[in-house]
């Protein structure tokens, strides 16, 4: 029998936070069936998928043994007012798919210009949640790899969620163990991103030393003369084969 259990089974974000990253929701996905499940690419679908984001995805492409759990982090970043709904779709072995409902209500910053007396609401306008520059995924865990082995490259996407063009600085690995990781195929550094545009870079783990390592990638961006820096957390263990 194939079966997944998600905790929670649905997520209601309520009102959006001024910074969506302050209200990340963790979703734990567990194989509660009797056979190993391979999770396909996690998708957002439904009526308003553009108002939600999968921030961290440690499930896509993973084989979950019976009882094993993987982790997703989801945020609510509404692009329009009202009651918004979507769902996370988790495709698995044998063409089956599980769905996790998402919901939230955006009334932040609504400005009603007129219409109360006349009933004409055509002039109503709104300003919504402050948009950010997003990095997906926010966490990359390379797991356990053998000393000297090649480590697959994980791609990180940088998306400009603001209404203006932003400048991207040098993508850099930082931290005490930063030398254990590397940025490759960098298509973001020293570039510009138009609104809603994306660029990407890869990260890999160097397996020249054994041990448990962690670091982060910093991506500095300038939006409306304000410097932002969103980190991507890196981790992994290098062992003797």
> Which residue in 58, 19, 72 sits closest to 230, CA to CA?
19
Contact assessment for residue 232 and residue 213, using Cβ atoms and an 8 Å cutoff: no
pLDDT of residue 122: 42
Q: What is the DSSP letter of 65?
A: P
Tell me the per-residue pLDDT of 135-194, one tens digit each, with 9 for 90 and over: 887 788 899 999 999 998 999 988 887 778 889 999 999 999 999 999 999 999 999 999
Tell me the per-residue pLDDT of 80-114, one tens digit each, with 9 for 90 and over: 778 999 999 999 887 788 999 999 998 754 433 33
- All domains in the chain, ordered by first residue: 4-107 (2.60.40.10), 133-239 (2.60.40.10)
Q: How many residues does the chain have?
A: 241
CB-side neighbour CA atoms (13 Å) of 31: 22
* Mean pLDDT across 71-88: 88
Rounded CA-CA distance 91/86 in Å is 16
Two tokens at 132? 């950010």
158, β-bridge pairs: 135, 199
Three-class SS state of 50: helix
pLDDT of residue 131: 56
Rounded CA-CA distance 226/237 in Å is 36
């Amino acid at each position: 029998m194939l079966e997944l259990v998600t905790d929670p089974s649905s997520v209601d974000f309520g009102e959006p936070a001024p910074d969506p990253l302050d209200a990340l929701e963790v979703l734990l996905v567990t194989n509660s069936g009797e056979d190993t499940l391979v999770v396909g690419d996690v998708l957002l679908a439904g009526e308003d998928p553009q108002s939600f984001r999968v921030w961290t995805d440690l499930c896509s492409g993973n084989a979950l043994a019976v009882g094993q759990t993987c982790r997703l982090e989801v945020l609510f970043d509404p692009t329009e007012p009202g009651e918004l709904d979507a769902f996370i779709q988790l495709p698995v072995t044998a063409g089956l798919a599980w769905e996790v409902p998402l919901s939230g209500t955006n009334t932040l910053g609504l400005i009603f210009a007129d219409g109360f007396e006349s009933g004409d609401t055509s002039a109503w306008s709104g300003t919504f949640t402050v948009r950010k520059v997003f990095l997906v995924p926010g966490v990359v865990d390379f797991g356990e790899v053998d000393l000297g082995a090649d480590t697959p490259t994980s791609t990180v996407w940088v998306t400009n969620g603001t209404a203006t063009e932003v400048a991207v600085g040098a993508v850099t690995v930082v931290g005490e163990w930063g030398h254990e990781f590397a940025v490759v195929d960098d298509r973001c550094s020293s570039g510009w991103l138009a609104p809603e545009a994306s660029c990407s870079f890869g990260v890999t783990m160097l397996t020249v030393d054994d041990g448990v390592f962690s670091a982060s990638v910093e991506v500095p961006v300038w939006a409306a003369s304000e410097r932002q820096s969103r980190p991507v957390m890196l981790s992994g263990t290098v062992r003797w084969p």
